[in-house]
Structure 1
């Protein structure tokens, strides 16, 4: 079939799917949506903005709990990876994230935001996620986790945008830096270290902020999952192995539906893997843990500014102090 015939047939199927959706015929609409994807695959159509918009539109109209939706998004991301992005086109990820955000499916929305270039949108979603599902004492953990994951994906610009926007927009965070929450100061210094620091700076950061880093038990699981090729490095805790492949997200199994649904947050949450999430497109994101990744980043960076280490020491926590409920400001030298 010629390219023009494929285009004509695809437009007809897309219109038909939208018509079926408007009349509540989910099964027929889903079948036509899959045929639209099949046409894109067989004709080897190049990724284009309008096609991504159409796929996202079809996705948004599908029943959130239908297995067809899972198959559709997985296949759509695979097709879009032919353009840019090994795990799918960033624009498609952004559109999917926005749809899932509207559905208040924060777990999966966050996953797609991580693979988009929309750091600002991710931050706004995390603010809503934190205020609606988390505790006040966990406001720092939501953004800390997102920043670490962006850094693992070697997306420093989005990590900085997420941190800046989140800390400015969250109603429970006072203006900074420096911040009242030591964990936010840790992330702030970490972003500075990634831009122009060395591994020694990262080591000092981890040592000085141990009380905050120990707040989440996942960082201290001696028998927790480890990457297949573990690289010894300074860790965020005594047994830190932030494994994004086999880790767990802020999702827990629902006894009624069998699906993973959001629960109250115990953050520094991890990305879902194929084994514990209903959406199979959430595959391996990063083959190494956070500390190993940051070691590689920091090792190749330029020397740290001369006053950074002294600033770290001035902003660090006292040994053994649990700063989770600390309301006193952090003072810097």
Structure 2
């Protein structure tokens, strides 16, 4: 990859390789670029990198191990940057992204976390600038970069937020379901169950969510709460109008959890309520829903959020008119608004949650 572009640069006489070769090194010499930056708009990292000296093409957050090259075919770090600059100057976005990804993976493998994170953000910037359409391979690449980042780094938070925004394709939704699934699986492996649960809610992987919840319940929860883990997940899936995943997560969880006897019916009343609720949602009869909620109030009072979720479910599936005002304010009110219908005009497949809902 790099030898091809080095050759072409050398033939131009004043290209990137020629400047790197003459004068004893890359310091202080600029890579030639056809990119013109308008002073009236914000300058991106990529555009800045094309107009700066090669040694400062990107201000990395930590010292770079000189043995690390940007890609396996480049003999040095700076030659790798030369290849990248040539690709970008000729709008070879695909080739540049491949080089950025391989460079980021190499930095991660050498423990260069900050430098790898910088390159990962450049990958996202390239996807945005080139208006690349979402594809499974790209989502898997982004998820791979995410999985290698330090879980406690602020760069990881910024990366995942930007990746989800790009994957939404400008639709205003909260990211592609496949990317949410991949992120959820990574967070599950890290035993970050709360964040994993949030991303599972926005994926189509009800079965994976159920298996994660079984592990979460058995490792972190009380035995008396085994029914509450799945009940909250089912109610939130229904609030997001995802009946299919709600049914799958309930069936899988109740079959796989070692503390739940096979049913239905179940020993735990709350599980019976959820089972009846899923049947009622399919039927759509308001009287059945109303009687069900009344009969199971003792179980529903175990968590004050249950009735709030059920109010929303009543609106979505049974034609119950929405409340005029919310009885909650502040942070809790914001969480409810984001989960339970801040945007009424979304379509049947809308998923309009914008912040994680943690288990109590």
TM-score, structure 1 as length reference: 0.68
CA deviation map 1:240-288 (0-9, x unaligned): 9799x9549xxxxxxxxxxxxxxxxxxxxxxx959xxxxxxxx934326
CA deviation map 1:125-168 (0-9, x unaligned): 00001111110010000000000000011000000000000000
Relative contact order: is structure 1 or structure 2 higher (C-alpha 8 Å, sep ≥ 6)? 1
Note the residue ranges of structure 1 that are not aligned, 5 or more in a row: 249-271, 275-282, 297-333
Name which of 266, 270, 276 aligns with 1:179.
266
Tell me if structure 2 keeps the 8 A contact 1:46–1:82.
yes
Note the residue ranges of structure 2 that are not aligned, 5 or more in a row: 1-87, 349-360
Tell me if structure 2 keeps the 8 A contact 1:219–1:241.
no
Corresponding residue SS for 1:191 = helix
The answer to whether the aligner puts 1:11 opposite 2:65 as a matched pair is: no
Corresponding residue SS for 2:93 = helix
- After TM superposition, the runs of 4+ consecutive aligned structure 1 residues lying more than 6 A away are 240-243
Tell me if structure 2 keeps the 8 A contact 1:83–1:89.
no
Distance (Å, rounded) in 2 between the aligned partners of 1:26 and 1:105: 20
Q: Please state how far the C-alpha of 1:215 moved relative to its aligned partner.
A: 1.3
Q: Please state how far the C-alpha of 1:201 moved relative to its aligned partner.
A: 1.0
Distance (Å, rounded) in 2 between the aligned partners of 1:101 and 1:144: 19
The answer to whether the aligner puts 1:49 opposite 2:136 as a matched pair is: yes
Q: Please state how far the C-alpha of 1:202 moved relative to its aligned partner.
A: 1.0
In structure 2, the partner of 1:317 is none
The answer to whether the aligner puts 1:22 opposite 2:112 as a matched pair is: no
Distance (Å, rounded) in 2 between the aligned partners of 1:20 and 1:128: 33
Tell me if structure 1 keeps the 8 A contact 2:232–2:306.
no
In structure 2, the partner of 1:141 is 228
Distance (Å, rounded) in 1 between the aligned partners of 2:129 and 2:287: 52
Name which of 262, 266, 284 aligns with 2:338.
284
RMSD over equivalenced CA pairs, Å = 3.4
In structure 2, the partner of 1:303 is none
Tell me if structure 2 keeps the 8 A contact 1:84–1:90.
no
In structure 2, the partner of 1:130 is 217
Q: Please state how far the C-alpha of 1:84 moved relative to its aligned partner.
A: 7.7
Alignment of 1:192-271 (within 5 A): 192-218=279-305, 246-247=331-332
Distance (Å, rounded) in 2 between the aligned partners of 1:16 and 1:135: 45
Tell me if structure 1 keeps the 8 A contact 2:117–2:149.
yes
Q: Pick the structure with more helix per residue.
A: 2
Counting matched residue pairs gives: 250
Alignment of 1:282-321 (within 5 A): 284-287=338-341
Distance (Å, rounded) in 2 between the aligned partners of 1:219 and 1:47: 36
Name which of 58, 69, 93 aligns with 2:156.
69
